[in-house]
C-alpha cells in the first residue's frame, strides 16, 4: 500500500516531462490521479500508462490561462473522485526568445509566458485551495525553476514568471499555514525532457548548458517528481513556503 492510498492528486502539464513523471509517481504511491494537459493525446497517454500499471487516473483537458477551464478542472476532479488532497501546478512554457536582446522581446511573447507560467499557477491555486481545504487539507507544489532564484539574459520573461511563482508560493503558504494546507515550489535545473530537445539542435549550446551543472549531467523528470512527492508527503509536514532547488549544483556556484 502506497503512502497516498485513498488520496487524490491533480497534476497540470501532465502530458509529458516532469508532469507525466509526477503523475506516475503519485499513482505508484496509491493516489488516484487527475491528469490535465492542454493536449488531449498526450494527457490520455499518461492515463493509459497509469491504468496499464494498475493505477486509477482520469484525464481532464484544461488551458491554465482560462479561468473557466481551471474552475472546470477542479470541479471535474471533485466530481470524479469526491475530494482533492494534492496538486502539482506544473503546466508551463519556455517561451524561448534566444538571440533577442531583452528590451527587444515582443510584448506578445512576454505576455504569453507570464500568462501561462504565472497567471496559470495563480488560477490553479485560486480554485484548488477551497477544494483541498474542503477535503481536510493537503499540499500543493508549484513548478518554478532555477530561473526563479537566478536569471539569464536570454529569457527575462521566463525568469520573471518563475520568480513570480516563488512569490505566489510563499504568499499562499502564509495565508493557509494554519489551515492544514502546505504550499511549496520545486525549482528544477535543466531537465532531460521534451522542453530541452529544442536546445539539442545546437550541440555546442546543449553541451555548454550541461557543463554548468557540477554533477555533469541533466536532471531527469523522475528526480523532480520524487521531490514533488516528498513535498506532498507527511515526511515534509513542517515544510511550507519553501522553494526546493533540484539542480545538480547549478545555483551553488
Q: Are 36 and 43 in contact (CB under 8 A)?
A: yes
* Residue written as grid cell 477542479: 74
* Residue written as grid cell 494546507: 181
Query: Could you write out the three-class secondary structure of the chain?
Result: CCCCCCCEEEECCCCCHHHHHHHHHHHHCCCEEEEEECCHHHHHHHHHHHHHCCCCEEEEECCCCCHHHHHHHHHHHHHHHCCCCEEEECCCCCCCCCCCCHHHCCHHHHHHHHHHHHHHHHHHHHHHHHHHHHCCCEEEEEECCHHHCCCCCCCHHHHHHHHHHHHHHHHHHHHHHHHCEEEEEEEECCECCHHHHHHHHCHHHHHHHHHCCCCCCCECHHHHHHHHHHHHCHHHCCCCCCEEEECCCHHHC
Catalytic residue, chosen from 81, 86, 127, 158, is: 158
Establish whether 250 is a catalytic residue. no
C-alpha span between 5 and 144 (Å, rounded): 27
Q: Which residues are catalytic?
A: 158
Amino acid at each position: 500500500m502506497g503512502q497516498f492510498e485513498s488520496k487524490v492528486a491533480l497534476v497540470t502539464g501532465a502530458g509529458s516531462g516532469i508532469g507525466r513523471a509526477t503523475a506516475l509517481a503519485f499513482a505508484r504511491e496509491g493516489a488516484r490521479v487527475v491528469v490535465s494537459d492542454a493536449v488531449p493525446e498526450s494527457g490520455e497517454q499518461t492515463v493509459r500508462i497509469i491504468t496499464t500499471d494498475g493505477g486509477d487516473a482520469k484525464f481532464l483537458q484544461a488551458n491554465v490561462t482560462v479561468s473557466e477551464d481551471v474552475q472546470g478542472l477542479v470541479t471535474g476532479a471533485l466530481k470524479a473522485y469526491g475530494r482533492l488532497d494534492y496538486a502539482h501546478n506544473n503546466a508551463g512554457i519556455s517561451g524561448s526568445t534566444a538571440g533577442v536582446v531583452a528590451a527587444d522581446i515582443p510584448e506578445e511573447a512576454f505576455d504569453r509566458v507570464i500568462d501561462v507560467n504565472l497567471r496559470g499557477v495563480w488560477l490553479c491555486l485560486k480554485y484548488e485551495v477551497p477544494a483541498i481545504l474542503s477535503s481536510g487539507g493537503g499540499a500543493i507544489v508549484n513548478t518554478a525553476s532555477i530561473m526563479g532564484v537566478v536569471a539569464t539574459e536570454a529569457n527575462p520573461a521566463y525568469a520573471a514568471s518563475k520568480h513570480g511563482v516563488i512569490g505566489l508560493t510563499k504568499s499562499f503558504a502564509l495565508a493557509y499555514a494554519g489551515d492544514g494546507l502546505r504550499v511549496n515550489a520545486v525549482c528544477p535545473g535543466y531537465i532531460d525532457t521534451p522542453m530541452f530537445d529544442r536546445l539539442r539542435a545546437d550541440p555546442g549550446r546543449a553541451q555548454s548548458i550541461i557543463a554548468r551543472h557540477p554533477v555533469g549531467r541533466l536532471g531527469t523528470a523522475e528526480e523532480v517528481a520524487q521531490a514533488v512527492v516528498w513535498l506532498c508527503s507527511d515526511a515534509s509536514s513542517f515544510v511550507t513556503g519553501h522553494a526546493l532547488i533540484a539542480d545538480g549544483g547549478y545555483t551553488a556556484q
